[in-house]
């Protein structure tokens, strides 16, 4: 049995992939002896360290869109949209209150001091307070006040806390980063969108040219009466309007520069996490690194896709372990 020091990055609903990844590690005979996580990584990691990951998994799998919305305790505030209390309260119904120092394995959660920018490491004290601070995504969740500090999401200071997980000296360092960027895939999507837009524009121009030619032909036909010309022109115009009304709506672009503020802010945050995680993995190279592109999942609605995301994480971990073992 090989010991594992496991590090889990921030990354919103993509963090549900960690459940499948942990289960894959255990099924292959690996033993997780310490864990460090940021944001969603701190939540899933904390539930595992408390020995309650299976129960939390079953609860997450039961969530649909309405239940997810019900967990969003919307707040009319200048600096956040969601209080964030309902999520913690729901978890506390599954996992009893406990201190970090009483967990089954060493555990650390990362948050960020809003004013100093300092990394705040939770390795003792109340587990749920640490998790609540670590998941405080700026502008989405209410910041957490602790003494003199105001705490926000740990991804700001340390997206991938490879330097914080406890090591035994003979363990493997395993990291799961759900903030990867598949540059080639994105460029191909953008090229496809540009090609589709160009093809639609060409088709529209051809349709307008054809309509103009038909109307010109009718109006310059000296053998028709004026009333006949009006009738034919009216019929053609009616057909054009009907075609316009029944034409398929333009699909929403995946990468829209005019996206709403939440989409723009979310993508900006994901890009920041990507570069922070990439820097940490260069400074502290893990023995096994698992990556998931942040475009795979990320919308609020994806919190209702826990089972699908879990299985995606299991598959990615399996592939990474196959490469390592072979």
What positions carry a catalytic annotation?
A: 39, 153
Token reading at 10: 């921030």
* DSSP annotation string for 112-151: EETTT--EEEESSSBHHHHHHHHT--TEEEPPEEETTEEE
Are 187 and 24 within 8 A, CB to CB?
A: no
User: Which residues on adjacent β-strands are paired with residue 145?
Assistant: 150
* Coarse DSSP helix, strand, coil percentages of the chain, rounded to the nearest 5 percent: 50, 20, 30
User: Which residues on adjacent β-strands are paired with residue 288?
Assistant: 174
Measured CA distances, 125 to 66, 69, 150 (Å): 33, 30, 17
Torsion of CA 139, 297, 118, 163, to 10 degrees: 170
Could you say which DSSP state residue 135 is in? T
The single residue listed with the structure tokens 């997780």 is 32
d(CA 11, CA 240): 48
Task: Please report how many Cα atoms fall inside a 13 Å half-sphere around the Cα of residue 288, on the Cβ side.
Answer: 27
């Amino acid at each position: 049995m090989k010991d594992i020091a496991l590090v889990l990055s921030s990354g919103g609903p993509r963090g549900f992939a960690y459940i499948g990844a942990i289960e894959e590690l255990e099924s292959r005979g690996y033993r997780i002896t310490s864990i460090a996580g940021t944001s969603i990584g701190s939540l899933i990691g904390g539930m595992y360290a408390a020995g309650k990951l299976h129960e939390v998994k079953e609860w997450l799998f039961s969530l649909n869109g309405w239940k997810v919305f019900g967990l969003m305790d919307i707040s009319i505030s200048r600096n956040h949209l969601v209080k964030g209390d309902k999520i913690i309260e729901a978890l506390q119904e599954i996992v009893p209150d406990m201190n970090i120092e009483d967990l089954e394995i060493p555990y650390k959660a990362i948050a960020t001091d809003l004013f100093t920018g300092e990394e705040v490491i939770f390795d003792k004290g109340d587990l749920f307070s640490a998790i609540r601070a670590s998941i405080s995504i700026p502008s989405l969740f209410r910041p957490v006040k602790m003494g003199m500090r105001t705490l926000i999401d740990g991804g700001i200071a340390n997206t991938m806390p490879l330097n914080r997980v406890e090591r035994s000296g003979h363990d493997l360092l395993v990291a799961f980063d759900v903030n990867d960027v598949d540059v080639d895939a994105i460029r191909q999507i953008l090229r496809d969108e540009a090609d589709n837009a160009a093809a639609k524009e060409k088709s529209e121009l051809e349709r307008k040219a054809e309509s103009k030619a038909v109307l010109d032909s009718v109006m310059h036909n000296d053998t028709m009466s004026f009333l006949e010309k009006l009738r034919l022109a009216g019929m053609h115009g009616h057909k054009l309007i009907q075609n316009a009304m029944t034409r398929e709506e333009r699909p929403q672009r995946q990468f829209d520069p005019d996206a709403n503020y939440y989409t723009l802010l979310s993508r900006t945050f994901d890009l920041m996490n990507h570069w922070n995680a990439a820097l940490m993995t260069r400074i502290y190279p893990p023995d096994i690194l698992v990556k998931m592109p942040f475009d795979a999942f990320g919308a609020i609605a994806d919190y209702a896709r826990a089972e699908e995301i879990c299985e995606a994480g299991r598959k990615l971990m399996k592939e990474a372990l196959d490469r390592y073992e072979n």
